[in-house]
Amino acid sequence: MLAPKKVKFRKRQKSRNRGKALRGNSVAFGEIGLKALEHGKLTSQQIESARVAIMRHIKRGGKVWIRIFPDFPITSKPAEVRMGKGKGAPEGWCAPVKPGRVMYEVKGVDLALAKEALKRASYKLPIKTTIVVKEGLE
């Protein structure tokens, strides 16, 4: 799973994820990419399972870029615990995603194969996505 090696603070306040992605909104490294269409928080497990789905479908050919990183801590309190007594312990990591963000990119495989791989990866994610192709390739 993806997780930061070191963070300045253990817990972070929950923030609002508003607006469109200003950075990372175009295909930069690969030829085809998976772009988010709505706001959401992707956990490190979801990011990894989508990556595995892509790699298995393209049979480890070509190159895959993951353009998001889970650096936002998720905290939770144990089950059946009364209210109060502070914030819960850190449980995992997530990546806040805005609409327009390109999350995965693929290069070095047939375009139809890459499209199918990204389609399978989108089933693993909790947000709506679309497949985008770099300008001049389609």
Q: Is residue 43 one of the residues assigned to a domain?
A: yes
pLDDT, position 16 = 93
Q: Is residue 5 one of the residues assigned to a domain?
A: no
Q: Is residue 65 one of the residues assigned to a domain?
A: yes
From the number of C-beta atoms within 10 Å of its C-beta (0-12, 13-18, 19+), residue 105 rates as buried
Domain count, the chain: 1
From the number of C-beta atoms within 10 Å of its C-beta (0-12, 13-18, 19+), residue 123 rates as exposed
CATH number at residue 129: 3.90.1170.10
Percent of the chain predicted with pLDDT > 90: 94
Q: Which residues contact 135 (CB under 8 A, 6 or more apart)?
A: none
Q: Is residue 93 one of the residues assigned to a domain?
A: yes
Q: Is residue 25 one of the residues assigned to a domain?
A: no
Token duo for residue 107: 């290069």
Tens of pLDDT along 55-108? Answer: 999 998 899 999 999 999 999 999 999 999 999 999 999 999 999 999 999 999
Q: Which residues contact 83 (CB under 8 A, 6 or more apart)?
A: none
How would residue 138 be classed by pLDDT, with cut points 50, 70 and 90? Answer: low
Say how many residues make up the chain. 138
Find residue 107's DSSP bridge partners.
63
Q: Is residue 4 one of the residues assigned to a domain?
A: no
pTM for the whole structure: 0.93
Q: Could you tell me the residue range of the domain that residue 54 belongs to?
A: 32-76+89-133
Q: Is residue 44 one of the residues assigned to a domain?
A: yes
Helices (H) and strands (E) in the chain, counts: 2, 7
Q: Are 105 and 24 in contact (CB under 8 A)?
A: no
